[in-house]
Amino acid sequence: MLNSLMLCVSSSFVSVGASSGIGREVALDMAKRGARVITASRDEEKGLESVNYIKNLSKNSSVFWKKLNLSDLSSVRQFAIWFTSCEQRLDILINNAAIAYSNVEKTVDGYDLCFGTNHLGHFLLTELLVNHLKRSAPARIVIVSSLAHILVPGPLRFDKGDEDTLYPHLSGYEISKLANILHAKELARRLAQFGVSANAVHPGGVDTELWKGMAYKWPPWFCFLIRMMVKPVLIDANAAAQTIVYAAVDDRVKTITGRYFEKCSLARESIQAKSLSVAKKLWEVSSFLTGLQVHTLPLEVNEPRVVDCTDKTNQTLDRE
């Protein structure tokens, strides 16, 4: 378990996918350290319940929720507009949200749901917030990946496909988790000179809501059998949050970037996750698919800024 005593007072922290499970436990830990915490998720009811849960346990009133649907790139842009208009700094960004299986196959923008949500949504969000991270340096980005990335048997394939299905081989949970690690590596290369680190994390085998999605892919009896087989080795959300928090705040990690962590230690990623050339190509393709210019870090979100800097509890998110 993490035993770092680092305080985050006056730090600004964003946790994506913090309405339940691992993300909520990470946000709670940060709130207890005194950070200004902004949680972002697509479900308003769960999001606000999570904020109240975190405030009650942490005794930190600077915890807020904003809507963010990573499977809809317009939602990502709207969140970025709000954040860059209402917040002055960003010290830690945790890209945690994930989906494994669903009865929906495509994102709002027409991409594979797993790849579009787990990678493209996080990719665009990070790019649109990157200048806040640079201005707040030293800052950290933590991308939650999975051991499942080792199931990808070969290098990512970038066959462009056709108008109906762009990049058809960029699909599935395992591919998206491999993309998370490659994203961290390319971020590390691009942002090192600005004092911003980026690392990927495997939180462990976790008993969270992610498992509920199995019902969309396999029959109930098979899901039950698998769940019973692996349950003895699964850890709870609090235990899984430890490595994420370690990568986000521990002083021993402050000079480490572009690496992969497990159990609060450096770990070995797969051969496919080590390729810097593939990481660069993935960046270029992701920039194209999300509408960003290749090889650029945009200075601003180029959309009108009519922004309400209040949260759902009618508290103004004052700039400190």
Q: Where exactly are the structural domains of the chain?
A: 12-290
- Mean pLDDT value of segment 263-275: 95
pLDDT band, very low/low/confident/very high, at 315 (cuts 50, 70, 90):
very low
How high is the mean pLDDT of the chain?
84
Q: Is the pLDDT of residue 313 over 50?
A: no
Q: Report cis status (omega within 30 of 0) of the bond before 168.
A: no
User: What pTM does this model have?
Assistant: 0.86
DSSP-assigned states of every residue in 12-48: EEEEET-SSHHHHHHHHHHHHTT-EEEEEES-HHHHH
Is residue 216 part of the annotated active site? The answer reads: no
Q: How many residues does the chain have?
A: 320
The predicted pLDDT at position 318 comes to 46
Whole-number pLDDT of residue 261: 97
Q: Exactly one of 173, 216, 246, 260 is catalytic; which is it?
A: 173
Select the CATH number that applies to the domain covering 12-290 from these four: 3.40.50.720, 3.40.430.10, 3.40.50.2300, 2.30.42.10. Answer: 3.40.50.720
Angle subtended at Cα 107 by Cα 103 and Cα 42, rounded to the nearest 5 degrees: 85
Across the range 146-154, mean pLDDT stands at 90
Cα dihedral 65, 69, 73, 74 in deg (nearest 10): -60
pLDDT of residue 54: 95
User: Which token pair is 193?
Assistant: 């000179």
Q: Rounded mean pLDDT of 263-292?
A: 95
Q: How many Cα atoms sit within 13 Å of 296 on the Cβ side?
A: 12
* pLDDT above 60: residue 153: yes
Cβ count within 10 A of residue 67: 15
